[in-house]
C-alpha cells in the first residue's frame, strides 16, 4: 500500500472509530463488557492513535494528501467524500482526539446519570470535529459542523431535569444557528463560483474569482465562525453553556466546537487573505471579544463562567492573530489552549464536587486537602497566564509577535487595534488567572471538603498538566515559534503586571477577593457589559413581535385557506354524492340520457 493510501485510510479510520463507538455504545452499551464507557474510551483511543500516526507520516511527506471519492450524482455540483491531511489537520486532529480521550476517561467516574447516551454523544461530537478537521469537501465539513451543533445541544442539556440546563441548551442551539445560516451560504457562494465544493479546488480557484464574490463568501463564513467560536456579538450562549457537566464544558471549550471556528479560518485562509475587508471585520470582533471577555472573567463570581469568558477571550486572540497574518501562531495557541483549558475545566469539576459549589467565594485553602489538583491546576492557570515555560507562554508570545508585525492585508489602524487588544488582554488574563488561583487554593477554609479524585479521574489531569507544561518544548522543531527576545521581555512585563495587580490587593485585603476593587463597575463587567440584557430589550421584543405577526398570518391566511379548501372539497363531494344514491333505475336513466345526448351531438356536428 502506498503511503498516500495508508494516510487516507488512517484519516478515515480516525473519523469512523468514535462514530462506530457512538452507535455501538448507544444501542448495545449495556451488553458489552465494561459498559458504554469502555466502548467510548476504546473508540477515542483508536482515533488518537490513528491521528498520531497521521502526524508522524505526513511530516515526512513533501505535500498534503488529498483523497476524495465522488458521491451519488445530484444533478448539480458533485459532492465528494474524502480526506485532506497535512500538518495543520493532523496536528489539530491529535489535539482533538487526545483531549477527547482524557474527557472520556475522566467521565467514567464523574458522569453517572445516563452515561450511555452521554458517552455516545461525546464520541459523536469527537467524530464530527474530526470530520471538520480532516474532511476534503466543504459540504462534508458542513455536515460535521452541524452535527457538532446538535451534540452541543444534547450535552449541554444532558441533565434536563433542571430547567436552566434545557434553557442553556436551547439558547446555544438557536444562537449558533444564526451563524450557521451565513456559514452555509458562504459555502454555497464559494462552491458555485469555483464549480466544486472540494477544498483544494476552491482554494485554487480563489485568485481568479471576482473580488466582490470572495468578500461576500468570507463575510458569510465569518458570521458562522463568530457564532461557533462564541465571539461578540454572538457570544451569549457560551457562558450559559456552563450548565452542562464539567467534562462537556471541557469538550466544547477546548477540543471541538469553539476551536472549530479558528480552524476553519486557518483551513480556508486564502479566501480570507483575498478579502482584506473581511479580515478587518474579524479583527475588530476578535479584539472586542478578547478584551471584553477578559474583563468579564476578572469580575466573575462563578468559576465555570470565569473559564467560559476566558475561552471567549483566548479564541479572540487566535482569530485576531489570523486577521493580521499570524496563521501559525493562531494554530499553536489553538493546540496549547486545548490542553490547558481542558485541564482547567476537568480540575474545576473535581473542585466543584469537593466544595459543592461553583462560586469562588465558597472556595479557599484547597491546596492542603487537594494537593494533586492544586499542582495540576496551577500548571493550567500558569499556561493560561502565559507564564514560562508552559505551552501558553510560547503560543501567546507568537501571537504578540504576529500582532506587532502584521501582514500587509490589513490597514495600519487595524494592526494597531489588534496590538493594543492583545497587550491589554495579556495583562487582564494574568490578573484573573492569578485571582482564581489564589481564591481556590489559598486563604482559609472552615468546612471540611473531599480530597483529590481517584486514579481514573486523576490520570487525565496529570496527563493534561504534563502536556500543558511540556508542549512548549515542541517549539524547537518550529523555528517560527521561537520567542523573539524583545517580544518575550514585553510579554514578561505584561504578565508580571497582571499577576501583581491581582496579588497585591489579595494580600492587602487579607485574602479578600481582588475583584472587589472594581466597585460599582463589577456587575457590569461580570455581565459582559449587559449584552444579554441588551438582547432581551431589543432583539427579543422584535423577534416576539415577528413571531406573533407570522402566527396571525398563519392563522388568518394559511390556516383559513387550507380549511376553506377542505370545506369546498367537502361541499363538492356532497353534490357529487347525490348521483351515487344506489338507485339502479336512476343510474339506467342517466346512462340512457347520456347516450341520447351523445347521439344528438353526433347528428348536429355532422
Question: Cα–chain-centroid distance for residue 587?
Answer: 72
Share the mean pLDDT of the chain: 87
pLDDT on residue 170: 87
Confidence band, pLDDT 50/70/90 cuts, at residue 132: very high
User: Taking 60 as the threshold, does the pLDDT of residue 446 lie above it?
Assistant: no
Does the pLDDT of residue 316 top 90, yes or no? yes
Per-residue b/e over 479-514, b at no fewer than 16 CB within 10 Å? eebebeeebbebbbebbeebbebbbebbeeeeeebb
The pLDDT value recorded for residue 404 is 82
452 pLDDT band, cuts 50/70/90, is confident
How many CB atoms within 10 Å of residue 30?
Answer: 9
Model confidence at 486, in pLDDT bands (50, 70, 90)? confident
The Cα angle at residue 376 between residues 375 and 377, in degrees rounded to 5: 95
Q: Does pLDDT of 4 surpass 80? A: yes
How does pLDDT run across 225-262, given as a tens digit for each residue? Answer: 999 988 988 888 888 888 778 888 888 888 788 889 99
Query: pLDDT, tens digit, for every residue of 384-424?
Result: 999 988 888 888 888 888 888 766 678 888 989 999 999 99
For 112-151, b/e burial (b = at least 16 CB within 10 A) is eeebbbbbbbbbbbbbbbbbbbbbbbbbbbbbbbbbbbeb
| Average of per-residue pLDDT across 306-327 | 94
- Whether the pLDDT of residue 144 is over 80: the answer is yes
For CA atoms 343, 349, 355, 357, give the dihedral sign: positive
Q: Give 16's pLDDT tier (boundaries 50, 70, 90).
A: very high
Rounded-to-integer distance, Cα 279 and Cα 498, Å = 29
Residue 450 has pLDDT above 80, yes or no: no
pLDDT at 516 over 70: yes
SS (HEC) of 222-274: HHHHHHHCCCCCCCCHHHHHHHCCHHHHHHHHHHCHHHHHHHHHHHCHHHHHC
- Residue 168's pLDDT band, with cuts at 50, 70 and 90, is confident
**pLDDT grade for 51, boundaries at 50, 70 and 90:** very high
pLDDT score at 387: 92
Q: What pLDDT is attached to residue 559?
A: 80
pLDDT at 92 over 90: yes
What is the arithmetic mean of pLDDT over 55-71? 86
CA distances from 87 to 61, 508, 578 (A): 10, 49, 78
pLDDT in tens, 454-469: 888 999 999 999 999 8
Higher-confidence residue of 73 and 283: namely 283
What's the pLDDT score for residue 451? Answer: 81
- List pLDDT tens digits, range 585-604: 777 777 777 788 877 777 77
Pair 151, 124: CB distance under 8 Å: yes
Cell numbers for 354, please give them: 469537593
Q: What is the mean pLDDT of residues 345-369?
A: 89
Peptide bond preceding 389 in cis form (omega within 30 of 0): yes
**Lowest-pLDDT range, 200-214, 485-499, 523-537?**
523-537
Mean local confidence (pLDDT), 364-386: 92
User: Does 114 score more than 80 pLDDT?
Assistant: no
Whether 552 has a pLDDT exceeding 60, the answer reads: yes
Question: Is the link from the previous residue into 583 a cis peptide, with omega within 30 of 0?
Answer: no
Check residue 1 and give its pLDDT. 61
Burial call 53-80: b when 16+ CB within 10 Å, e when fewer: bbbebbeeeeebbbbbeeeeeeeeebbb
Q: What is the per-residue pLDDT for 90? A: 93
Look at residue 376 in the predicted model and tell me its pLDDT: 95
- The residues pairing with 82 across neighbouring beta strands, listed in sequence order, are 68
Assess whether pLDDT exceeds 80 at residue 532. Answer: no
Q: How confident is the model at residue 34 (pLDDT cuts 50, 70, 90)?
A: low
Reported confidence tier of residue 372, pLDDT bands at 50, 70, 90: very high
User: Residue range 466-482: average pLDDT?
Assistant: 77
Q: Please give the model's pTM, rounded to 2 decimal places.
A: 0.88
Identify the CA nearest to 254 among candidates 181, 166, 347, 324: 347
What mean pLDDT is predicted for residues 83-104?
93
Asked if residue 70 has pLDDT above 90, the reply is: no
Does 349 have pLDDT greater than 70?
yes
CA distance 317 to 511: 31
* pLDDT > 80? residue 31: no
In the block, residue with C-alpha cell 476537568: 346
Given pLDDT bands bounded at 50, 70 and 90, which one contains residue 581?
low
Kindly tell me if the per-residue pLDDT of 149 is higher than 60. Answer: yes
Q: How far is CA 241 from CA 125, 257, 538, in A?
A: 15, 12, 22
Instruction: Report the candidate in 262, 265, 309 with the shortest Cα–Cα distance to residue 290.
Output: 309
Q: What is the mean pLDDT of residues 487-502?
A: 91
Q: What is the mean pLDDT of residues 462-482?
A: 80
Amino acid at each position: 500500500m502506498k503511503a498516500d493510501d495508508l494516510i487516507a485510510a488512517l484519516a478515515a479510520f480516525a473519523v469512523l472509530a468514535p462514530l462506530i463507538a457512538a452507535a455501538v455504545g448507544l444501542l448495545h452499551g449495556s451488553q458489552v463488557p465494561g459498559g458504554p464507557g469502555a466502548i467510548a474510551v476504546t473508540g477515542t483511543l483508536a482515533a488518537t492513535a490513528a491521528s498520531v500516526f497521521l502526524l508522524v507520516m505526513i511530516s515526512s511527506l513533501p505535500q498534503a494528501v488529498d483523497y476524495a471519492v465522488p458521491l451519488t450524482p445530484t444533478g448539480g455540483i458533485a459532492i465528494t467524500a474524502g480526506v485532506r491531511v497535512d500538518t495543520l489537520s493532523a496536528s489539530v486532529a491529535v489535539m482533538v482526539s487526545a483531549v477527547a480521550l482524557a474527557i472520556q476517561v475522566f467521565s467514567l467516574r464523574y458522569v453517572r446519570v445516563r452515561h450511555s447516551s452521554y458517552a455516545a454523544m461525546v464520541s459523536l461530537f469527537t467524530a464530527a470535529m474530526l470530520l471538520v478537521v480532516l474532511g476534503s469537501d466543504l459540504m462534508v465539513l458542513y455536515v460535521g459542523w452541524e452535527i457538532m451543533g446538535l451534540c452541543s445541544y444534547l450535552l449541554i442539556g444532558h441533565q434536563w431535569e433542571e430547567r436552566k440546563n434545557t434553557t442553556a441548551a436551547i439558547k446555544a442551539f438557536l444562537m449558533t444557528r444564526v451563524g450557521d445560516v451565513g456559514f452555509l451560504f458562504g459555502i454555497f457562494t464559494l462552491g458555485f463560483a469555483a464549480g466544486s465544493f472540494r477544498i483544494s479546488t476552491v482554494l485554487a480557484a480563489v485568485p481568479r474569482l471576482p473580488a466582490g464574490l470572495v468578500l461576500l463568501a468570507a463575510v458569510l463564513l465569518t458570521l458562522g465562525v463568530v457564532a461557533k467560536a462564541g465571539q461578540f456579538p454572538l457570544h451569549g450562549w457560551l457562558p450559559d453553556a456552563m450548565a452542562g457537566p464539567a467534562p462537556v464544558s471541557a469538550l466544547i471549550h477546548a477540543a471541538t466546537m469553539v476551536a472549530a471556528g479558528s480552524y476553519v479560518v486557518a483551513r480556508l485562509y486564502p479566501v480570507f487573505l483575498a478579502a482584506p475587508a473581511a479580515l478587518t471585520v474579524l479583527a475588530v470582533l476578535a479584539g472586542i471579544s478578547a478584551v471584553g471577555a477578559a474583563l468579564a472573567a476578572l469580575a466573575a463570581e462563578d468559576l465555570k463562567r470565569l473559564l467560559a469568558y476566558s475561552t471567549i477571550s483566548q479564541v479572540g486572540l487566535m482569530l485576531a492573530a489570523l486577521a493580521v497574518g499570524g496563521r501559525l501562531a493562531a494554530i499553536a495557541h489553538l493546540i496549547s489552549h486545548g490542553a490547558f483549558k481542558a485541564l482547567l475545566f476537568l480540575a474545576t469539576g473535581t473542585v466543584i464536587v469537593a466544595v459543592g459549589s461553583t462560586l469562588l467565594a465558597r472556595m479557599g485553602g484547597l491546596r492542603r486537602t487537594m494537593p494533586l489538583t492544586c499542582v495540576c491546576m496551577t500548571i493550567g492557570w500558569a499556561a493560561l497566564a502565559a507564564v514560562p515555560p508552559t505551552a501558553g507562554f510560547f503560543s501567546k508570545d507568537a501571537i504578540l509577535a504576529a500582532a506587532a508585525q502584521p501582514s500587509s492585508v490589513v490597514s495600519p489602524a487595524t494592526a494597531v487595534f489588534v496590538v493594543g487588544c492583545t497587550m491589554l488582554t495579556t495583562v487582564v488574563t494574568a490578573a484573573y488567572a492569578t485571582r482564581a488561583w489564589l481564591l481556590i487554593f489559598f486563604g482559609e477554609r472552615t468546612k471540611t471538603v473531599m480530597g483529590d479524585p481517584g486514579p481514573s479521574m486523576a490520570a487525565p489531569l496529570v496527563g493534561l498538566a504534563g502536556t500543558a507544561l511540556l508542549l512548549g518544548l515542541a517549539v524547537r522543531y518550529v523555528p517560527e515559534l521561537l520567542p523573539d527576545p524583545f517580544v518575550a521581555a514585553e510579554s514578561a512585563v505584561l504578565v508580571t503586571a497582571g499577576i501583581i495587580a491581582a496579588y497585591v490587593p489579595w494580600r492587602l485585603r487579607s485574602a479578600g477577593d481582588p475583584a472587589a476593587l472594581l466597585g460599582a463597575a463589577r456587575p457590569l463587567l461580570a455581565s459582559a457589559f449587559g449584552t444579554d440584557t441588551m438582547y432581551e430589550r431589543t432583539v427579543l421584543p422584535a423577534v416576539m413581535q415577528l413571531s406573533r405577526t407570522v402566527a396571525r398570518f398563519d392563522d388568518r391566511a394559511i390556516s383559513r385557506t387550507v380549511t376553506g379548501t377542505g370545506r369546498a372539497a367537502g361541499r363538492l363531494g356532497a353534490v357529487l354524492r347525490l348521483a351515487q344514491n344506489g338507485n339502479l333505475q336512476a343510474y339506467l336513466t342517466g346512462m340512457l340520457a347520456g347516450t341520447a345526448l351523445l347521439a344528438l351531438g353526433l347528428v348536429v356536428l355532422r
